[in-house]
Amino acid sequence: MGKAEDYIEEALAAYELGAPVVGAVRFGEGHINDTFCVHTQPPDGACRRFILQRISAAAFGNPEQLMRNVVGVTDYLKKVIAREGGNPDRETLTILRTRTGTCYFTDRAGGAWRCTPFIEHTVCLQAAETPELFYASAKAFGRFQRLLKDYPADTLFETIEKFHDTENRLRNFRKALEADKLGRAAGVRDEVEFVLRRSADCSVALEAQRAGKLPLRVTHNDTKLNNVLMDEKTGEGICVIDLDTVMPGLAINDFGDSIRFGANHSAEDERDLSKVNFDLGLFEVYTKGFLEGCGGILTPAELEYLPWGAKLMTLECGIRFLTDYLEGDHYFAVHRAGQNLDRCRTQFKLVSDMERCWDDMAAAVRKYA
Ligand code: ADP
Ligand code: MG
Ligand code: MG
């Protein structure tokens, strides 16, 4: 597809930004899309900034469906935020229309571009420097759930098929183990055993969903701290961004993925497992923020299954790393031998920790429910 830089002039020309463009530079620390910050300068006014992104063609095969999800959700959020007296231009993304009225632009190589006004006076942090910031991100993602509680989730496209189909992840793992293409299975007996002992767990959330206990919701599916813009002064979570993976799903999975990623203090590929510990205190902090943000919209069953969300997202992620290790590391990029196995081991360590303090996790949910 070529470098995004080769097409940016074309993409810029597709938009009417109200004033001449004086610069466009690569921006942020996102790993998926090509993100640029565009500056415009009216002759007699203040400079304005925009975020212009080329959507990753490698990650997303269908930009049309992706953008229909994003526009559906942001248009809806704007109405609800306005109704509640909030600021729709600041508290959700605004997808600018191109000169021809479309919500994204396709360049001559087929790359899809979108443009949003820059949300000023906010910061995007890569890690929770304090529990307060973790809490703020939780509250923002909980609020996202609350604001979208009446959105018809089944009208959203499943842009990544079977994303959190843990049963399917398990099936793929079994296939990789069976094939054992690289003869790596013998070296990972403990990890294989770890998964097989938990194969029934992989069905817990899906069973509850099939039984009608867990409702289908609008889910974000990338609920990391760096996808919430925080107020630069107050540290409050202002705007949930990175809506590429918005899909129908389970609220407990959005919750769970935040916990998987944020409720510990180690790198995802840490080799010294003594440094990898699930932090129950951070779990509590996130639970408090998330449930406050949700404002009571979660059902009793969803509340009951929140710890499952945390465990299953972590287990599923570990299974994916292990599967990729067995298959020869072609999905998750590795920078050293055994990195996917190390990643798998950190996830399984966190799962074991969660199992050990399961009752405390449930108690934390009850405390803030
Ligand atoms: P990726 O999927 O690559 O993470 P994001 O949509 O999260 O892409 O965007 C990358 C980065 O660009 C974000 O982490 C954030 O720093 C910045 N960003 C995106 N949209 C905006 C916006 N509207 N206002 C300010 N910063 C933004
Ligand atoms: Mg992002
Ligand atoms: Mg993203």
Specify the residue with its C-alpha closest to ligand 1, atom 15: 28
Instruction: Find the helix packing angle between 131-147 and 280-294, rounded to 10°.
Output: 30
Q: What is the pLDDT of residue 31?
A: 84
- d(Cα 5, Cα 251) in Å, to the nearest integer? 37
Judge whether 68 lies within some domain: yes
In a domain, 125, yes or no: no
Q: What is the pLDDT at residue 50?
A: 98
Best mutation site among 48, 60, 160, 241 for ligand 1 pocket (most ligand atoms within 8 Å of CB): 241
Q: Are residues 238 and 354 in the same domain?
A: yes
Q: What is the CATH number of the domain that holds 334?
A: 3.90.1200.10
CB atoms within 10 A of CB 126: 10
Q: Assess whether 219 and 76 both reside in one domain.
A: no
* Closest among 202, 216, 207 to 166, alpha carbons compared: 202
Q: For residue 49, list its beta bridge partners.
A: 39
- The range of the structural domain enclosing residue 62 comes to 4-120
Closest ligand 1 atom to residue 27 Cα is 12
Say if residues 235 and 132 touch (Cβ distance below 8 Å).
yes
353 shares its domain with 269 = yes
C-alpha torsion angle, residues 11, 16, 22, 25 (rounded to 10): -40
Q: Which residues of the chain have pLDDT under 50?
A: none
* Euclidean distance between CA atoms 10 and 107, whole angstroms: 7
Pair (202, 264) in one structural domain: yes
* Ligand 1 atom showing the smallest separation from residue 243 Cα: 6
Distance between Cα 316 and ligand 3 center (Å): 19
Same domain, 282 and 346: yes
**In the chain, % of residues over pLDDT 90:** 98
Decide if 164 is inside a domain.
Answer: yes
pLDDT at 1: 76
Maximum alpha-carbon separation in the chain? 70
**Together in a domain, 69 and 136:** no
What's the gap in Å between 87 CA and the centre of ligand 3? 24
Does residue 253 form part of some domain?
yes
190 with 323, same domain: the answer is yes
What CATH number does residue 38 fall under?
3.30.200.20
> With a 6 A CB cut-off, is 238 part of the ligand 1 pocket?
no
Give pLDDT, residue 2: 84
Q: Which amino acid is at 257?
A: D
d(CA 229, CA 240): 6
Examine the domain organization and report whether 68 and 168 are in the same domain: no
Q: Residue 227: which of 8, 81, 32 has the closest Cα?
A: 32
Q: Mark which of 55, 87, 120 sits at the end of a domain.
A: 120
- Report the alpha-carbon distance of residue 110 to residue 103 in Å, rounded: 15
Domain count for the chain: 2
Q: Is 119 in the pocket of ligand 1 (CB under 6 A)?
A: yes
User: Is the CB of 332 inside a 6 Å radius of any atom of ligand 1?
Assistant: no
Domain shared by 298 and 154, yes or no: yes
Q: Is the CB of 242 under 6 A from ligand 1?
A: yes
- Cβ burial of 189 (10 Å; 0-12, 13-18, 19+) is exposed
Tell me, yes or no, whether 126 lies in a domain. Answer: no
Select from 58, 85, 120 the last residue of a domain. 120
Is 93 near ligand 1, meaning CB less than 6 Å away? Answer: yes
CB 205 within 8 A of CB 250: yes
Q: Is 287 among the domain residues?
A: yes
Distance CA 50, CA 36 (A): 8
Ligand 1 atom nearest residue 124's Cα: 16
114 and 183 together in one domain: no
In a domain, 181, yes or no: yes
Q: Which of 92, 120, 148 is the last residue of a domain?
A: 120
What was the pLDDT predicted at 30?
85
Distances (CA, A) of 270 to 279, 333, 341, 350: 16, 16, 10, 12
120-170 pLDDT per residue, tens: 999 999 999 999 999 999 999 999 999 999 999 999 999 999 999 999 999
Q: What is the ipTM of this complex?
A: 0.99
**235 and 139 share a domain?**
yes
Burial class of residue 88 in the structure, from the number of CB atoms within 10 Å of its CB (0-12 exposed, 13-18 middle, 19+ buried): middle
Q: Is residue 351 part of a domain?
A: yes
* Same domain, yes or no: 74 and 201: no
Q: Where are the beta strands (DSSP E) in the chain?
A: 21-26, 34-40, 48-54, 105-106, 112-117, 122-123, 217-219, 228-231, 237-240, 247-249
Residue 186 CA to ligand 3 centre (angstroms): 35
* Secondary structure of residue 122 in the 3-state scheme: strand
Q: Looking at ligand 1, which atom is closest to the CA of residue 93?
A: 23
